Structure 1
Amino acid sequence: MPGKFVVSLTHAKNDTDKATVAFVVANAAAASDKETIVFLSIEGTRLSQKGYADDIHEEGFAALRDLMAGFVEAGGKIYVCSPCFKKRGLDENNLVPGAMIVGGAKLVEFMGEACPSVSY
């Protein structure tokens, strides 16, 4: 089932359930041969930092750090909202594998026309 898919995530430790489910869905999309992007914005940008997700583990799900690593290993990419990242004073030299800081135009370019997306 080729195509593209975007998961937009605005949460991190402020709602670990949403953060976890977002990566569960992203993994499912990547496993379905979708070119998949997770777009981290607002508080979600904190997940772009190495070690931040290490202690997030919602009952009934794999640990978030493992979900994130599996997503990238499956070919998924993590886009990080540049203004949100800068606002929070995060470290560009501490990005998790697969993450890249981008502006909104990069997301819009990826989505093009008729690209399904979900938001958490």
Structure 2
Amino acid sequence: MIKKFCVSLTAAKNDTDKATVAFVVANAALGSDQETLVFLSTEAVNLAVEGYADDIAEEGFAPLKDLMTNFAEAGGTIYVCAPCFKKRGLDDGKLIAGAKVVGGAKLVEFMAGGAPSISY
């Protein structure tokens, strides 16, 4: 049985509901004993910058910053699309805990064994 799970996220402040639900699902996957990866691309790469998610809170959910912190502290991995990050001129010296700026090959490596994925 495959014990990996990938959540792909493209939204940030442009769709805070998607961003929040993605991390709710990622935390649930970790809690289900899955090696879990969140892949941030396009607008979602902004979430990897310290302070960006601090004011995102959807009604009925924990604040996004808390969801992201809990995910990283529980051993989840956050990959940040390198070209998307660079395109936006973001500072990799200000990454949140657990985030790593990587190329697409790292995502392919994680998923190559058949890891299920969900996209938001």
TM superposition score category, shorter chain reference? over 0.9
Q: Would the aligned equivalents of 2:37 and 2:79 in 1 still touch at CA under 8 Å?
A: yes
CA distance in 1, matches of 2:2, 2:24: 19
Paired residue for 1:109?
Answer: 109
Paired residue for 1:59?
Answer: 59
CA deviation digits over 1:44-63, x for unaligned, max 9? Answer: 00000000000000000000
Residue type at the aligned position of 1:6 = C
Q: TM-score, normalised by structure 1?
A: 0.98
* 1:97 matches 2:101: no
Q: Would the aligned equivalents of 2:2 and 2:114 in 1 still touch at CA under 8 Å?
A: no
CA distance in 1, matches of 2:65, 2:18: 14
Paired residue for 1:70?
Answer: 70
Q: Would the aligned equivalents of 2:49 and 2:91 in 1 still touch at CA under 8 Å?
A: yes
| Alpha-carbon distance, 1:113 to partner | 2.4
**Runs of 4+ deviating beyond 2 Å:** none
CA distance in 2, matches of 1:65, 1:113: 30
CA distance in 2, matches of 1:8, 1:52: 18
Structure 1, unaligned runs of 5 or more: none
Paired residue for 2:87?
Answer: 87
Task: Describe how 1:37-52 pairs up with structure 2 within 5 A.
Answer: 37-52=37-52
| Alpha-carbon distance, 1:114 to partner | 1.6
CA distance in 1, matches of 2:117, 2:81: 16
CA distance in 1, matches of 2:22, 2:41: 13
Q: TM-score, normalised by structure 2?
A: 0.98
Paired residue for 1:22?
Answer: 22
Percentage of matched positions with identical amino acids: 71
The SS at the match of 1:54 is coil
Residue type at the aligned position of 1:91 = D
